[in-house]
Structure 1
Amino acid sequence: MKITPGHAAGTAKISYKVTFPEAQAHYADVEMTVSGLKQADLELKMPVWTPGSYLIREFAKNIESLTATADGKAINALKVSKNTWKINTSGVNTVTVKYKVYAFEVSVRTSFVDVSEGFLSTSGIFLYPKNMLDQPSIINITPYKGWSKVSTSLEKVNGDPFTLQSPNYDILYDSPIEVGNQDVFSFDAAGVKYEVAMCGGGNYDKERLKKDMPKIIEAETAVFGENPNKHYTFIVHNRQRGGGGLEHLSSTVLGASRDAYSSERGYNGFLSLVAHEHFHLWNVKRLRPIVLGPFDYENENYTTDLWIAEGFTAYYQNLILRHAGIATPESYLAAMAGDINTVENQPGAKIQPLAEASFDAWIKSYRPNENSYNTGISYYDKGAVIAMLLDLQIINNTNAKQSLDDVMRYMYNTYYKQKKRGYTDAEFKQAFEKFSGQNLDEFYAKYINGLADIDYDKYLGYAGYKITNAFANVNEPTLGIYTRNGNGDNKLVTTVLRGGAGWIDGINVNDEITAINGAPVSDMNTALNGKKIGDKVTVTVIRDGITMDIPVTLLKNNRVNYKIEEVANPDEKQLTVRKKWLKL
């Protein structure tokens, strides 16, 4: 690891004690001891973000009642910035700092404490001493009454699950900790011990998961040629409505709906999430953009390559289910068509290039507003589409001897294992060119850094497929808005589509539609029955408590509904590419 000033080696010994005396009020109490000090002052800092989630979250906002003592006497701990406390340690060998962390935000990236569990998203729990990010630490956990288990990828000290050790802060901040009474089961896959901690109950079938999760792990390990972990932990938070995931070096945190496992859609959706987050243990946690490590925990870490780090992972999450024999070829193609439709139906895809979407993740992706649909594109969705294009091109150009798998394995071996550093944008481009055997300047100019329409038929044609638009012959009018139920039968406008009728004629987000041409609106799907493109309607809305009539000229609904279908009479090479791509 390249040493930066924040990662300079320190000489102090660091330990933490975590207790939950007020779990019912959502607090974790932390006692931090730093000994072996030989400096005039000690600065303690709290990260402002957590790797994998590209948003400044200001975790220090949850800290309160911070005090410091030395030799049994209180010493001053002065807060000198939003996330920094400075302690005078002149003549002091050991300092003990106590503070409380409020933890009541339900997500895979933030800590949550109540009487049922304590989930510690460690970058928002543990302060670190300035210039000592390379320093090891010991964490001792005293569980709340009735709690009996700890689940984490951190190593135990002398086999004690409540005493953990971390070799440095990059590992500590990459190792969430679950404390409670989670249902734990385990299995072996790819030579690695896996533990799954199910929190919050649910109708999951452990035996079925123990068969299907290893299939995913084995298929992903085959992409990279090795599984670099000795053990790996899945922490799954099952809630009434749950979703999302956050990758870590040797673990992941997943959000799931506790009663969704019994449906095939819900179960396969969970497996897709497992495949996505587990694929990250290679792609982004080890094979990663050069700026993402060593981390700067106090500032944004900008990269234009999240379309590779996240978008390619989104591509593989479905492809792996196919290669593992869990998804059928038809369901996989339907999933890819879904990604294409997401991109093509979003007006922002014509405004924001893919590389820019990656760079602006810090200010846009995690801070969507009512106009985000019109101004940006997800590096997940479009990145997955670009991965598909490159995969098909490589398979075609090499006569099915190689695929995107070979690029990923080459980059992993070259930059993570041999060079022991991250990659630059230019280096990944060179790898694509190496395996596709052609210059990709035009491809990058059009699809990565530009806004060109994607030629889907060209790339899908390599495998004997094409896209068809099920809405091609639909000639219906639309207001160009999305709504949800408002007060009574009223409809609340949530999105106004760029260039649509509502956009042009002045319907606003948060307008509450009460009538169209004087008739109450009970169903937006039937509100325009009998109307034609070019017709003028009067939309009655309540805006900020004032009723107004807005004349609107209806425009054509330009939404697409693409499906991936077989071309007539695919030739031998197309079938060979298809066999390689879909592992038929």
Structure 2
Amino acid sequence: MKNFLSLVYTFLILNLMSITAEAAPVAKISYTVTFPEAQAHYVDIEMNISGLAQKTTNLKMPVWTPGSYLVREFAKNVEGFTAWNGGKEIPAGKVNKNTWRINTAGISALKVKYRVYANEISVRTAFIDASHAFLSTSGLFLYPQGMLNQPSTIKIVPYKGWTTVSTSLETVGGDQFTVTAPNYDILFDSPIEVGTQDVFGFKVGSVNYEVAMYGGGNYDKERLKVDMPKVIEQHTKIFGENPNKRYVFIVHNFQRGGGGLEHLSSTVLGASRDAYSTERGYLGFLELVSHEHFHLWNVKRLRPIALGPFDYENENYTTNLWIAEGFTAYYEAKAMRHAGLLPADGHVNTLATSLSNHDNQPGSKIQSAAESSFDAWIKFYRPNENSNNSTISYYGKGAIIAYMLDLEIINSSNGKYSLDDVMKYMYNEYYKLKRRGYTDAEFKLGLEKFAGKNLDDFYKKYVTGVELPDNALYLGYAGYKVTDELAGSNTPALGIATSAANNHIIITAVSRGSSAWVDGLNVNDEITAADGNPVTDAAAITANKKVGDKINVTVIRDGKQLMLPVTLLKSNRVKYKVEPADNATEKQLAVRKKWLNL
């Protein structure tokens, strides 16, 4: 009885402490952003915090940005950090790479000033010049430790000539230059574009879409207003709803641009400003739109359990990026096909190319999809000359796994279900009902629910294993046959990639198991001769040669000349062709119809 009463007493005390903590005053946090030297890529930030009660306040800068799985050390760009109280500068010091500590004993209000250098053009890093400011918020705004759930307000004082702000953040009092975030997870997931961007919009269902184009370009706004909604409608059809009221596309058009980064209610896209006029360039842009927009469900809401709430100071590990990114890569094209923007044969031909590229990458036999996901932090964003031999992209491998699972589910359910049903079920079950991310085992159970079978063997082969895809089996479900157009060839190959500058042939990569790999040609070797004949074109080395021939390759390595005997091996490259099989069955045609929305 005594122990029971002690437990009751402890519970009451803890409950009272909890109520007291909840009743504590909420800190008020605001930022003022100015650009006195935008032309030199600087932004000045003033942070004001009131309602402080703690003796020490730690201000932190995230080390990475969600969606881009690499520790980027944004604090490296911070300069001139000072802290103030009532017009008086107070001591402040850095205690680790991304933390500034301020003694706030007896201080309820604090002002902090600092500058950030922003001169890296990408969809995941801030960039500022005289023409515009792209505020990638996770790399700009310090947050008070322990206050990630606190709201904040940002007032933007534009540089001369800047007239427009584009962001998914809510405005304050209708002033586009003053925005607010309910917490730091939202703030760090809401980039801001400031400048003179070209803005247009459209509506899909009840959702208002804004497209902000920076950098000019030969895009056709009226055509985009028609085709972008087609893709968005296909995404919404899969999940049954669009959780946004408003969504913003921030598009940076450069001479050569690419890439995208997803956010909760917006995305940032990189594009080539003059590529819209070609069909290939235009469809490529729409595929990028499709990929990043699909993320508003897959990753931003339906997510691996490790990806939220975020730890902004350390790596957030998951083995499921093959789902988060790979499935999204699959759906970027599938949605385009189902929207009628890609022809069925073109879609299948693109898949054939992806399958060939996968099997031609030696790393596909070394690294699994799960390993690729987990090691994204140290490998995917830091490729070297051997990455092709030792790694596989969770984007590409995940998309291939998705196509196989899609056809498996359609076939085994006799056309009743597809991978779409899995995505909708998982979204409803984990994002909406359980309000959390899924584990690897839970996603597998979701797949099995609609496949109607155990997928242990599938996972062992393709998710945690490195078996090559059984394309004949899975494409056979849809009445397609797969052939390797290079199967009968007996072509020799050195197995190298080279760069040529001023008649210097430099080896940039050596493929695992190739002639060059076996006989010791190295990356950074300069090839000067083959069998004593000067070499100015790497392709000429194997011209008129056959498998088994021996050649003497002369290279310069670290300033020394070497002659290496090389025995030419057969090229092991594949080139798949996918085409309708003769006499496809009624079931195969039904699977094909559902898969390709024929």
Q: 2:584 aligns with which of 567, 570, 573?
A: 570
1:545 match: 559
Q: Deviations over 1:285-315 (max 9, x none)?
A: 0000011110000000000000000000000
For 1:267 and 1:544, how far apart are their aligned partners in 2?
Answer: 45
Once the 2 structures are TM-superposed, how far is the Cα of residue 546 of structure 1 from its aligned partner? 2.4
- Whether 2:321 is the aligned partner of 1:284: answer no
Deviation at 1:475, TM superposition (A): 1.2
Q: Indicate conservation of the 8 Å contact 1:322/1:328, yes or no.
A: yes
Report deviation, 1:521. 2.7
| Mapped partners of 2:24, 2:483: distance in 1 | 59
Instruction: Give the drift of 1:518.
Output: 2.5
How has the CA–CA distance of structure 1 residues 574 and 319 changed in structure 2, closer, same or farther, with 3 Å as cutoff? same
Separation of aligned partners in 1, 2:327 and 2:385: 27
Matches within 5 A, 1:310-389: 310-389=325-404
Distance of 1:16 and 1:363 partners within structure 2: 33
Matched, 1:520 2:520: no
Distance 2:230 2:557 in 1: 54
1:126-525 equivalent positions in 2, closer than 5 A: 126-486=141-501, 488-525=502-539
Match of 1:117 among 108, 132, 137: 132
Q: What is the TM-score when the length of structure 2 is the normalising length?
A: 0.95
Q: Deviations over 1:391-448 (max 9, x none)?
A: 0010001111110000000000000001100000000000110000000011111111
Q: Which has the larger radius of gyration?
A: 2
Q: CA deviation at 1:524?
A: 2.7
- Per-residue CA shift, 1:147-200, capped at 9, x if unaligned? 111111101111111000000000000000011111111011132100011111
What per-residue deviation string (whole Å, max 9, x for no partner) do you get for residues 512-557 of structure 1? 2222223333333343211011111122222223232222111111
Supply the AA of the counterpart residue of 1:562: Y
Equivalent position SS for 1:51: coil
Structure 2 CA distance, aligned partners of 1:193 and 1:537?
Answer: 65
Does structure 1 residue 533 correspond to structure 2 residue 547? yes
Kindly indicate whether the alpha-carbon contact (under 8 Å) linking 1:10 and 1:134 is maintained by their aligned counterparts in 2: no
Whole-angstrom CA distance in 1 between matches of 2:558 and 2:40: 37
Q: How many Å separate the matches in 1 of 2:23 and 2:358?
A: 44
- State whether structure 2 residue 34 is matched by structure 1 residue 19: yes
Q: Give the number of equivalent residue pairs.
A: 578
**SS state at 2:388 partner:** helix
**Which amino acid letter does the alignment assign opposite residue 558 of structure 2?**
D
- 1:250-274 deviation digits (Å, cap 9, x = unpaired): 0000011111111111111111100
Structure 1 residue 9: deviation in Å?
9.5
Say which SS state the counterpart of residue 162 (structure 2) adopts: coil
1:216-265 per-residue CA deviation (whole Å, 9 max, x = no partner) reads 00011101110000000000111111111000000000011111111111
Structure 1 residues 565 and 8, CA gap change in structure 2 (3 angstroms): farther
CA apart distance, 1:338: 2.0
Whole-angstrom CA distance in 1 between matches of 2:560 and 2:213: 50
Contact 1:52/1:246, CA 8 A, preserved across alignment: yes
User: Structure 2 counterpart of 1:504, which letter?
Assistant: V
1: CA distance between counterparts of 2:261 and 2:521? Answer: 37
Displacement after TM superposition at 1:39 (Å): 0.9
- How has the CA–CA distance of structure 1 residues 337 and 9 changed in structure 2, closer, same or farther, with 3 Å as cutoff? farther
Deviation track 1:367-404 (CA, whole Å, cap 9, x = no partner) reads: 11111100010000010000000000100011111100
The Cα shift of 1:104 comes to 0.4
Paired with 1:420 and 1:528, the residues of 2 have a C-alpha distance of: 59
Q: CA deviation at 1:10?
A: 7.7
CA distance in 2, matches of 1:398, 1:9: 56
AA at the equivalent of 1:583: N
Residue 527 of structure 1 aligns to a residue in which SS?
A: helix
CA contact (8 A) 1:339 1:382 kept: no
Of 556-565 and 306-315, more deviation after overlay is shown by 556-565
Q: Distance in 1 between matches of 2:282 and 2:25?
A: 47
Deviates more, 1:420-429 or 1:525-534: 525-534
Larger displacement relative to structure 2 (522-531 or 558-567): 522-531
2:571 corresponds to which of 548, 557, 564: 557
State the alpha-carbon separation in 1 of the partners of residues 486 and 534 from structure 2: 28
Determine what percentage of the aligned residue pairs are the same residue. Answer: 67
Using the alignment, how far apart are the partners of 2:350 and 2:395 within structure 1?
13
Change (3 A) 1:362 1:150: same
> 1:68 aligns to what?
83
Instruction: Tell me the TM-score normalised to structure 1 length.
Output: 0.97
CA distance in 2, matches of 1:105, 1:478: 39
Alpha-carbon distance in 1 for matches of 2:298, 2:529: 51
Which amino acid in 2 is paired with 1:136?
P
Classify 1:523/1:138 alpha carbon distance in 2 versus 1 (closer, same or farther; 3 Å).
Answer: same
- Give secondary structure in 2 for the equivalent of 1:85: strand
Identify the match of residue 79 of structure 1 among 63, 80, 94. Answer: 94
Tell me the C-alpha RMSD between the 2 structures: 1.4
Which secondary structure state, in structure 2, belongs to the residue aligned with residue 525 of structure 1? helix
Kindly provide the amino acid, as one letter, of the partner of residue 533 in structure 2: A
List structure 1 runs of 4+ shifted beyond 4 angstroms.
Answer: 7-10
Look up the SS of the partner of 1:97 in the other structure.
strand
CA distance in 1, matches of 2:206, 2:350: 30
In 1, Cα distance between equivalents of 2:532 and 2:118:
50
Distance in 2 between residues matched to 1:192 and 1:360, nearest whole Å: 37
Aligned partners of 2:25 and 2:313: how far apart in 1? 19
For 2:529 and 2:221, the matched residues in 1 are separated by 51
C-alpha contact 1:16 1:30 (8 A) present in aligned 2? yes
Task: Please state how far the C-alpha of 1:15 moved relative to its aligned partner.
Answer: 0.2
Contact 1:8 1:134 in 2 (8 A): no
Distance across 2 between alignment mates of 1:9 and 1:111 = 35
Which shows bigger deviation, 540-549 or 159-168?
A: 540-549
Alpha-carbon distance in 2 for matches of 1:156, 1:546: 65
Q: Distance in 2 between matches of 1:326 and 1:522?
A: 44
Q: Is the 8 A contact 1:358 1:379 kept in 2?
A: yes
